Structure 1
Amino acid sequence: MPASFNHTIIASKNRTESARFFRELLEAAEAPSWGPFANIQLADGVLLQFAEPPVGIQMQHYAFLLDDDLFDRAYQRLCEAGIEHFADPQMRLPGEINHEHGGRGVYFLDPAGHGIELITRPYL
């Protein structure tokens, strides 16, 4: 069997809040949670596990590939929630989206301060 991505743990200030944020933004399925994890499952079977680390959180970058319709709905949610967003990863173009790689993209910070990217076309 070829390798495929199965799950990752995302450090959170509040695991339940972070799981809810991503579940609603990405329209992801709730998954059973256990131990220190609040879980959601993406359509491709990847499990995102949110946990509160015992020490500080270091910013990470997570990019999600969405179809155009989900991007529109997610972007509307960001705007309605007043979440500051940018067209670029350096966060110099506030309130905009980009049209790179033949699609659209947007950058913002999640509740724990991680850099999140939503794109409609893969880079490769």
Structure 2
Amino acid sequence: MALCYADGMTVILDHTIVHASDPEASTAFLAEILGLPPARKLAHFTVLAIGETSLDFLPDTPPISSRHFAFRVSEAEFDAIFDRIRARDLPYWADPFRTQPGAINRWDDGRGLYFDDPDGHLLEIITRSYGSGGCDAEHPNPLLGCPGQK
């Protein structure tokens, strides 16, 4: 997503580097789960294109420091991804602290869940951006700290 500022400047996140013990396996996993085209090699990176951005996987030696990556998807894409997660019998959680296993959240009146990639990076799929439902949502995002919210 590009942001256009008052002065006309447009900023787009082009790529970010993801450390992985096996970049080919990690990108194949993510491409399959998210329904994306296969990754390509670019020098020592294995590059997975996601919209206008790419995740550039770099070989690294375990233990890999876990990071978090969130992907906003349509309702139909969520259903397809969720089907692939369940078909692989992957553990998933409604929350990033992994305290609600086998559940999805309804934050911002959308749907979301978390799961791990082969190196333990915490991946998230959401159908609504954080805070987009505001405090008027039936299920406001807990990060908002809305009055009366648990």
Instruction: Provide the rounded CA distance (Å) in 2 between the counterparts of 1:55 and 1:80.
Output: 27
Q: Is 1:112 aligned to 2:137, yes or no? A: no
* Runs of 5+ unmatched residues, structure 1: none
Match of 1:30 among 38, 48, 59: 38
- Report the AA paired with residue 43 of structure 2: G
Q: Which residue of structure 2 lines up, in the alignment, with residue 65 of structure 1?
A: 72
- For the aligned residue pairs, the C-alpha RMSD in angstroms reads 1.4
**TM-score under structure 2 length normalisation:** 0.77
Counterpart of 1:26 in structure 2: which amino acid? L
**TM-score, structure 1 normalization:** 0.92
1:94 aligned residue: 101
SS in 1 for 2:82: helix
The one-letter amino acid paired with 1:113 is G
Q: Deviations over 1:73-102 (max 9, x none)?
A: 111111110110011111111111111111
The higher-RCO structure (CA 8 Å, 6+ apart) is 1
2:56 to 32, 49, 68: 49
Query: If you compute each CA radius of gyration, which structure gives the higher value, 1 or 2?
Result: 2
Q: CA deviation at 1:31?
A: 4.6
Identity percentage of aligned residues: 33
Determine the structure 1 residue equivalent to 2:17.
9
- Number of residues of Structure 1 aligned to a counterpart in Structure 2: 123
Distance 2:117 2:68 in 1: 10
CA distance in 2, matches of 1:49, 1:81: 24
- d(CA) in 2 for partners of 1:56, 1:92: 23
Post-superposition shift, 1:65?
A: 0.4
CA change 1:104–1:13 in 2 (3 A) is same
State the alpha-carbon separation in 2 of the partners of residues 83 and 55 from structure 1: 21
Q: Which amino acid aligns with 1:49?
A: D
- Asked whether the 8 Å contact 2:117–2:123 carries over to 1, the reply is yes
What amino acid sits opposite 1:16 in the alignment?
A: E
